[in-house]
Chains A and B, each alone.
Chain A
């Protein structure tokens, strides 16, 4: 009985080692061999099966969008710095702090609109089905997180109530 138990435990340990070892080795090997070059657009090419011409067009759009995005981000960062200075010096929410919060929100909204506009343009540069899938995925990845947070805070499960 005791011998059988030792055999069973040993076999389980050996089995776990074989599975775990082969899992880790193949995972690392796949990550090493399939790692894509440090190109922002490599994911688009593989995920949406883009041709060279489509990718070239999208790259043009991408490179045109990046400076605008960086500019907006710099503005938001600057406003956030100003807000931190105001909030750091006072013990309550002043009118000046509220103004800065509104300015940051406006900049974020502007930036989001610009981002969505870029997603639409990129989606249009793809074959129609892939473009729709791209747009849906990007909306979910960029706006979905906020929606989830808002839903969880309001206790709304996403179901609409019809009266």
Chain B
């Protein structure tokens, strides 16, 4: 039996709908902590001696919420960040990257309301082969650094 090879034309409705929903439901801004475009190739940088000069890359709209998981004693609280695919696509295009996965793998963390979180996992939601939402599972960082 032949497979269904008919084309599914996406019109971006799912993306726009997700963006509108995120904006309407307390949409805020989160920033990826990214390495500078020109890296430091010295020995000192590889040994943790030089400041990494991370730059903040804003993503908006996003929704930030506490993940519904069973907490273990001594474990840091986990959170979920829902990010508009339009916002991610804009940054992927601006940085001339090949994929959103690469963008998230380059990030050293995520800053939300001045607090640093570490990326534990990345998921996507898609409709008709088009990603309309990215979900990041975040873990609270132990360092109590206030980041702008």
**Chains A and B form a bound pair:** no
